[in-house]
Amino acid sequence: MKHSPVKVRFNDILAAYHEAAPQTIAAIARVLERGDFIMGRAVHDFEKEFAAYCGAQFCVGCSSGTTALHLALLAAGIGPGDEVITTPMTFIATSEAIGHAGAKVVFADIDRETLNLDPRAVEAAITPKTRAVIFVHLHGNPSGILEIAELCRRHGLLLIEDCAQAHGAFVAEKVNQLRHAGTFGRVGCFSFFPAKNLGAFGDAGAIITNDQQIALQARRLLNHGRQDKYLHLVEGFNYRLDTIQAAVLLLRLKSLSQSVLRRNGICVQYQEGLAGLPLTFQKLCYEGVHARHLFAIGVEQRDLLQKFLSEHGIETGIHYPIPLHLQPAYAHREFKQGQFPIAEKVAATTLSLPLYPQLPPEQVDYVIEKVRAFFGD
């Protein structure tokens, strides 16, 4: 591939830092001065604020989105002998957590328009061993969660939401009543990986829940099963949320709504500018807010378009090029090519365009111009 100087970056995680550098440094300095690096005040404050933002009773901070998923499964009592249904079109952390909990990963295909789990496929995958479903709000799209929640209620299944990409995603269940992603099931799991809508300066994560038992058990497990300093009720982990990361998150939470609005504005610009081309856009099925973590287009000549854009200095991403059932990590499960045809088609035809809140509108116009040029416009 010919290398051209980058004109449009796919993401710029430092742009958010530069918008609030003095406040960020002051927030970190407060932790340094207090010296409460482990389970310090900022962890407690962030948990309180994030629970309120999401409209959940409890938030338990932890070390990453992956450990949030692991804790959610363990705290809910999922383990060996259980089956957990999820999507093959996600980052592997979702299914890894199921395996690490000792349960069996069962994949179900996705909906072509929303790119999220297809409720009919989930229903068809249920067996007597099914205990839970992990619904992923892919790219920040909550579409399908109401149907999956209903299905889980009907079948007595536990619903865990992977909201790693869905900070700021809401569904308007009733007029003027927005409900945040992660509050439809028993537990919502978040990642604060730096590139996320709400990103830390390293790894961080959290769960939200209205179930006090789950919150208590997760809190215990993430800190060595402690009840007291050297009194351990169970074997746990060191999955604690770092205090410096919590201080950064507490500050950044204040601008989350604004940054999701900016993301949505850029996506409107893309959708209007790209109208009429042979492309598909991820569909939002409800009244509500798509968190727009990524802007993925469906395009048959995906690889050629990616190459063309790269030659014009435009960075893009592919989320995700290999669906999980075809990953070498699952070769022992002997899934077949063609088993989840929609996920496979999406993996072969999806391209994520540059997107971050500070992306200048003229750069978006440049991307639009080049995509149109690719199609001979």
Chain residues that interact with ligand PLP, rule: CB under 6 A: 64-66, 90-91, 93-94, 136, 162, 164-165, 191, 193, 203, 205
Q: Are strands 130-136 and 83-86 parallel, antiparallel or unpaired?
A: parallel
What the block records as the tokens of 307 is: 């190459």
For ligand PLP, the closer of residues 219 and 293 by Cβ is 293
What the block records as the tokens of 211 is: 């179930």
Q: Least distance in Å: CB of 11 to ligand PLP?
A: 13
User: CA 299 → CA 88, 220, 274, 321, 353, distances in Å?
Assistant: 20, 46, 12, 13, 12
For ligand PLP, the closer of residues 111 and 203 by Cβ is 203
Q: Least distance in Å: CB of 336 to ligand PLP?
A: 24
For ligand PLP, the closer of residues 125 and 195 by Cβ is 195
Q: Least distance in Å: CB of 190 to ligand PLP?
A: 8
Backbone angles phi, psi at 127, to 5 degrees: -130, 175
For ligand PLP, the closer of residues 64 and 282 by Cβ is 64
Q: Least distance in Å: CB of 329 to ligand PLP?
A: 15
Alpha helices in the chain (DSSP H): 13-19, 21-34, 41-54, 65-75, 93-100, 119-125, 145-155, 212-222, 243-253, 256-273, 302-311, 341-349, 361-374
Q: Are strands 130-136 and 158-162 parallel, antiparallel or unpaired?
A: parallel
User: CA 324 → CA 59, 90, 173, distances in Å?
Assistant: 29, 7, 32
Q: Least distance in Å: CB of 166 to ligand PLP?
A: 9
Q: Least distance in Å: CB of 90 to ligand PLP?
A: 5
Give, in degrees to the nearest 5, the angle at Cα 107 between 213 and 137.
Answer: 60
Q: Least distance in Å: CB of 195 to ligand PLP?
A: 8
For ligand PLP, the closer of residues 64 and 223 by Cβ is 64
For ligand PLP, the closer of residues 133 and 368 by Cβ is 133
Give, in degrees to the nearest 5, the angle at Cα 214 between 68 and 119.
Answer: 70
Sign of CA dihedral 69, 194, 351, 171: positive
For ligand PLP, the closer of residues 203 and 344 by Cβ is 203
